[in-house]
Amino acid sequence: MASAWCWSCLSRLRPTTRAVLPPPSAIPRLTSAPFHSSAVQYAPPLKKKSNSMTQLKYRQGQTLRRKKKKTRKALRKRIILSNPNALEVEGMQEISAENIVDARLRGSVLGLPVPMLDQLRAVQAFKPKQGWSIFRRPGAVVRRDTVEMGRLFEKISGEGDAAEKGKVVKKVVTGTKGSGKTVHLLQAMSMGFLKKWVVVTIPEARELVSGDTAYVPVEGSKPTQYIQPGATSALLMRTVEANREVLSGLKVSQKHDIAGVKPTSTLEDLAKLGFQDPALAWPVFKALWTELTVTAAAPGMEKDFQTRPPMLVAVDGLAHWMHNSAYRDTDYKLIHAHDLVFVKHFLSLLRNGQAELKNGGMLLYATSTSNSPGVYALEVALDQMTARQAGTKPTSPEYPSAEAYSNADPRVLDLFKPIEGKEPQMELQTLGGLTRDETRGYLEYFARSGLLREPVNENWVGEKWSMSGGGIIGELEKLGRHVRSAAIPTPAAN
């Protein structure tokens, strides 16, 4: 067989001296083509072979002690909003009352004003793993849903062209994992603060049903309802801390059966009564709620009455309120979440046709995908809502309903049932991915912060957009901060 080598050519080649070549063991042999650009640091750690020489036979005193549980929790829960190593982005705009409706800003990242950060921290708008700590300052990208929400805020506040002062908008926010539901709530809160609304939030719906806070039965209620004084007190503290400016400007306008309330006291003073005495927390919260939702003062107290601002109620992790809580009644049976007065109060606001917010406002109840108990009845209810929005009548055979013998919770289905003709109606808002342009703006922000060292161009953005399942923002963040191996060159297309 003829050899493939040309011997005359080979004879001219001089063998490289051994010293110049690296030792054969140093050159990694590629057994298969690497179809990725992951850096070595992301490789799974090699399993160490157990070696009797390296393993200690007996437990010895370890110098590196594990930190205390409390410290560990604090480390886990801490929120870092700034990274001094990240570059400052030149010309970065701040969110303001004017630019929340500006559609030209779509795709740009708007910074949160520094004075507002304390308010947002007070309502626990930031969550630990949202990647705030990789940028110089906190900011959120403006997407289509954000601009639409900004328009709603303007409308309800009674500004702009199509002002509808006093309108109530109720939304259940859903979306796939990493689609930005919680950050959407944060943007809503920041807009609420900008528009001088009263912002009431429940950052973790789970904390109210997980059996961690105290609960007291309400005398004479049937079926027995339960008050959670500790959680109510915490809610009052959050609300006062965040809305101090608004609440301190409003005077009490009704008569309340609470000791310490004077006709001259402000709503801040009223709410503060619930801080010290948890037993008073629930009556104080009821009083505060009445004060915030009234449209006129009680007779004889009209002197200092000012119209109340709209309200924003934001709840995160709605599914936890749709099943049995971890609390037990006297018969040691599980208490349904809807029997907790606190939960019931906020869920009743959501009901179709319920218009308790007389001064207008917005209700945003977001589901969670990373921390969700999986309630079948809620899934059915959301499917039904989707079908109603698509125009399917509840009487039509295509209208989804719970499967037979599935034991779907009737209380949940009842909460979401349609009520014809009464406003305001509940809406379902499903967050999807960013568009390509928004993706580009978002990734450019990474590049300008010094995190991303690649040219952000059309092709590259399209690639990342596909890779993130169509612009899912949580996935884009992963890709933006992904350290890539420099060894693999991308072959250029011809």
Partner 1 sequence: MARPSSNGLVQAMQSLRLSSQFPQRSLIPSSRHLARAYATEAETETNTAIQPESIPDLPVQAAPEIDFSTSFLRNPARIVPASPSYFSGSPRFVDHVLNLESLQARYAALPQLPAGEAPPNGLRLNRIQPEMVPGEVRTVLDSFLRPGNPYAVVRETPELDENGKARAKGKRKESKAVVHLVEGEGEVLVNGKSIVEAFPRVHDRESALWALRTTERMDKYNAWVTVRGGGVTGQTEAVTLAIARALMVHEPGLKPLLRRAGVITVDARRVERKKPGHVKARKMPAWVKR
Q: In what order do the strands lie in the sheet with 361-366?
A: 198-202, 311-316, 361-366, 168-175, 426-431
The CA distance from 57 to 373, in Å, is 43
Nearest CB to partner 1, comparing residues 219 and 458? 458
Q: Does 466 bind partner 1 (CB under 8 A)?
A: yes
From the list 91-99, 276-284, 395-403, 485-493, the region that binds partner 1 by CB under 8 A is 485-493
Q: Does 131 bind partner 1 (CB under 8 A)?
A: no
For partner 1, how many residues bind (rule: CB under 8 A)?
32
Subset of residues 5 to 34 that bind partner 1, contact rule: CB under 8 A:
32-33
Q: How far is the CB of 250 from partner 1 (least distance, A)?
A: 46
Q: Does 3 bind partner 1 (CB under 8 A)?
A: no
From the list 174-182, 237-245, 298-306, 421-429, the region that binds partner 1 by CB under 8 A is 174-182
* The length of the chain, given as a count of residues: 494
Q: How far is the CB of 337 from partner 1 (least distance, A)?
A: 28
Dihedral of CA 436/442/448/454: which sign? negative
Q: Does 42 bind partner 1 (CB under 8 A)?
A: yes
Q: How far is the CB of 121 from partner 1 (least distance, A)?
A: 30
Residue 482: phi and psi, rounded to 5, are -70, 125
CB 170, CB 182: distance < 8 Å: no
Residue 353: phi and psi, rounded to 5, are 85, -10
Nearest CB to partner 1, comparing residues 316 and 477? 477
Centre a 10 Å sphere on the Cβ of residue 159 and count the other Cβ atoms it contains.
Answer: 14
Q: How far is CA 84 from the centre of its chain?
A: 25
The tokens for 271 are 């709410």
Nearest CB to partner 1, comparing residues 304 and 463? 463
From the list 322-330, 387-395, 406-414, 459-467, the region that binds partner 1 by CB under 8 A is 459-467
Centre a 10 Å sphere on the Cβ of residue 117 and count the other Cβ atoms it contains.
Answer: 17
Q: Is the peptide bond before 424 cis (omega within 30 degrees of 0)?
A: yes
Q: Does 1 bind partner 1 (CB under 8 A)?
A: yes
Nearest CB to partner 1, comparing residues 135 and 465? 465
Q: Does 437 bind partner 1 (CB under 8 A)?
A: no
The tokens for 327 are 């609390």
One of 158, 230, 450, 469 touching partner 1 (CB under 8 A): 469
The tokens for 88 are 């400052």
Alpha helix locations (H) across 101-200?
114-122, 144-156, 181-194
Q: Does 2 bind partner 1 (CB under 8 A)?
A: yes
Dihedral of CA 402/406/409/410: which sign? positive
Q: How far is the CB of 110 from partner 1 (least distance, A)?
A: 26
Q: Which residues contact 184 (CB under 8 A, 6 or more apart)?
A: 145, 146, 149, 173, 364, 366, 431
Q: How far is the CB of 471 from partner 1 (least distance, A)?
A: 10
Q: Does 454 bind partner 1 (CB under 8 A)?
A: no
Q: How far is the CB of 133 from partner 1 (least distance, A)?
A: 20
Q: How far is the CB of 470 from partner 1 (least distance, A)?
A: 6
> Which chain residues interact with partner 1 by CB under 8 A?
1-2, 32-33, 35-38, 42, 176-178, 458-459, 462-463, 465-470, 472, 475, 478-479, 482, 490-494
